[in-house]
Structure 1
């Protein structure tokens, strides 16, 4: 009988000794209870407890954890939107007792507060403001969670609004608005480019016309000088100014006919035209010059006579 009891005692003793020691991992805390009552918190390393009396009630993770909460709510302009809030939290090392005993499920508690804050803040904003002020939403969530969860041994490290997802129809409408706005800007730039081209072309044409007019004026000025010199030369050989002018016109007439004849592809027809045209033109011009001189002399005499009569009338009225 003793041979059976002795091995059992040895095994039991070894079991008791082994169960008296336990390991706690890094960034973990173990909660020890004695007959159901809290005894203490054991940190990382090799730890001791009274066998069969103390037990490990649970282990608490001291690492930074993240909880993603998706909240669906409505904005001020009646658009339903889903926000993904990422909450990074950590158990305070000195408050493991509160974190373990005061909350059954801290994740549900954090989720409830996130829902409450988001559904209180977002309905005050329009959809565009939700995108622009997402940091304000994250700050409001963090502030509310810190006030609530600090009593339970949790520290809220950071809150982030990681996703804003409006309804599919709303996103399609926003994309159309954005596309229309970009097309409007593109059209404005294209119109401005066309305006610049038109203005530049108009300025170039104006400059071309100005230079062309200046060239014509210079050409006519040189022609007039040439005619003046030609008349002076003809006067030196005994040809008066009228005959010289007529001769120059006739010469230009023949020069024009010659230049027209040199153009092989020209379709211009000068009518009427005959071999006597030059002499007829010369005679007609001389005749017109003579007639104009006679008319001018007659008008001059009449004006002088009228001036004499008017002077006599003024003298008689004065007397």
Structure 2
């Protein structure tokens, strides 16, 4: 009971002296915007006054010393300290902090000078090492980021810097984390913000880009002409093939038609000859055939007389009767010769056998 009354009296005294803010009073906060190389956060921040009762805000860590020696780290909440014995030399914000990296020059692998700046995102994970591991963690991590960026840029060529910016950022973060681990800090990410190069190099790159575009345009134009020529040639080739196939098909069709016509004509001639043969074998067929031959013989000479030509004829051909007589004689000779050849054909083509002696 006496202890509670003593604490109440001490609290009223501290409030009267304006050394301690009651629980209901708002805490004073300050925001920092890093826009230049001079505005960097202080790691660690300045110490706090020991007012016996202290409230540590969320995401903050306070370092407490006991007669100048590290005693403990205060987390968020209400804490009681012994005056003149406990001291709060450092306090840290455990939030992620953005640090602007000043512009600096770096030389690439192909000896091109670049001016780069960026933003480094760090976070304190070990307040003890951040307080006692290094004198000024903020300054140390900025210097480390600058040297690491120069080292990593020197390993790659200029074109690679633009193409692989993300890989470059990752390499810088890994290098910073290896060195910043004893300082109680971790680098979450690093972003290269601006890349500036000499004017001559920029002009040369612009000329290179324009030349590359002209080259690409020429290549595309030539490819277009080539494709057009190929298409025209393919079209002509297909047209010639189709024309030749059409001509071939036409010839095949014509030959097929001619063959069919010849076959039909031969069949018709065969039928006619069969009919003539059947007619000749009948009674009076020979006389009819003689008459038909005589008619055709006379008709041929009559057609010959219509043409203005000089034709030498035998003397016995002067009358129609002689024409008919001669035609009948020729037919009978042909008929008798055919009759004599028929028995020879039946005997194997040997003709008549002479009588044996």
| TM class, shorter-length | 0.5 to 0.7
Deviates more, 1:15-24 or 1:141-150: 15-24
Task: Give distance in 2, aligned partners of 1:104 and 1:46.
Answer: 29
Match of residue 325 from structure 2: none
Match of residue 119 from structure 1: 150
User: Which structure features the higher share of helix residues?
Assistant: 1
Deviation by residue 1:95-152 (Cα, 9 ceiling, x = unmatched) = 3122113323212211222232232332232211223344443344333322221112
1:39 aligns with 2:60: no
CA, structure 1 residues 104+193, in 2 after alignment: closer, same or farther (shift >3 Å)? same
Match of residue 172 from structure 1: 203
SS of residue in 2 equivalent to 1:103: coil
Deviation (angstroms), 1:155: 2.0
Taking structure 1 as the reference length, the TM-score comes to 0.54
Task: Give distance in 2, aligned partners of 1:89 and 1:239.
Answer: 126
Match of residue 106 from structure 2: 73
Task: Give distance in 1, aligned partners of 2:11 and 2:154.
Answer: 66
Deviation (angstroms), 1:53: 4.1
Contact kept in structure 1, 2:65 and 2:88, CA below 8 Å:
yes
Task: Give distance in 1, aligned partners of 2:229 and 2:70.
Answer: 89
1:50 aligns with 2:91: no
Deviation (angstroms), 1:65: 1.8
Match of residue 13 from structure 2: 15
SS of residue in 2 equivalent to 1:63: coil
Task: Find 1:143's aligned residue among 169, 174, 181.
Answer: 174
Task: Give distance in 2, aligned partners of 1:110 and 1:13.
Answer: 41
1:25 aligns with 2:23: no
Task: Give distance in 1, aligned partners of 2:11 and 2:145.
Answer: 52
Task: Give distance in 1, aligned partners of 2:60 and 2:117.
Answer: 29
CA, structure 1 residues 126+239, in 2 after alignment: closer, same or farther (shift >3 Å)? farther
Contact kept in structure 2, 1:27 and 1:61, CA below 8 Å:
yes
Match of residue 98 from structure 1: 129
Deviation (angstroms), 1:13: 6.3
Deviation by residue 1:224-281 (Cα, 9 ceiling, x = unmatched) = xxxxxxxxxxx99x679xxxxxxxxxxxxxxxxxxxxxxxxxxxxxxxxxxxxxxxxx
Match of residue 96 from structure 2: 64
Task: Give distance in 1, aligned partners of 2:184 and 2:173.
Answer: 15
Task: Give distance in 2, aligned partners of 1:91 and 1:199.
Answer: 68
1:87 aligns with 2:120: yes
CA RMSD of aligned residues (A): 3.8
Task: Give distance in 1, aligned partners of 2:180 and 2:88.
Answer: 25
SS of residue in 1 equivalent to 2:129: helix
SS of residue in 2 equivalent to 1:124: coil
Task: Give distance in 2, aligned partners of 1:169 and 1:204.
Answer: 52
Aligned length: 211
Contact kept in structure 1, 2:109 and 2:154, CA below 8 Å:
yes
CA, structure 1 residues 55+14, in 2 after alignment: closer, same or farther (shift >3 Å)? farther
CA, structure 1 residues 201+141, in 2 after alignment: closer, same or farther (shift >3 Å)? closer
Task: Give distance in 1, aligned partners of 2:131 and 2:63.
Answer: 8
SS of residue in 2 equivalent to 1:84: strand
Task: Give distance in 2, aligned partners of 1:139 and 1:172.
Answer: 30
SS of residue in 2 equivalent to 1:40: strand
Taking structure 2 as the reference length, the TM-score comes to 0.49
Task: Give distance in 1, aligned partners of 2:93 and 2:162.
Answer: 34
Contact kept in structure 2, 1:84 and 1:162, CA below 8 Å:
yes
Contact kept in structure 1, 2:148 and 2:176, CA below 8 Å:
no
Match of residue 132 from structure 1: 163
Match of residue 275 from structure 2: none
SS of residue in 2 equivalent to 1:125: coil
SS of residue in 1 equivalent to 2:160: helix
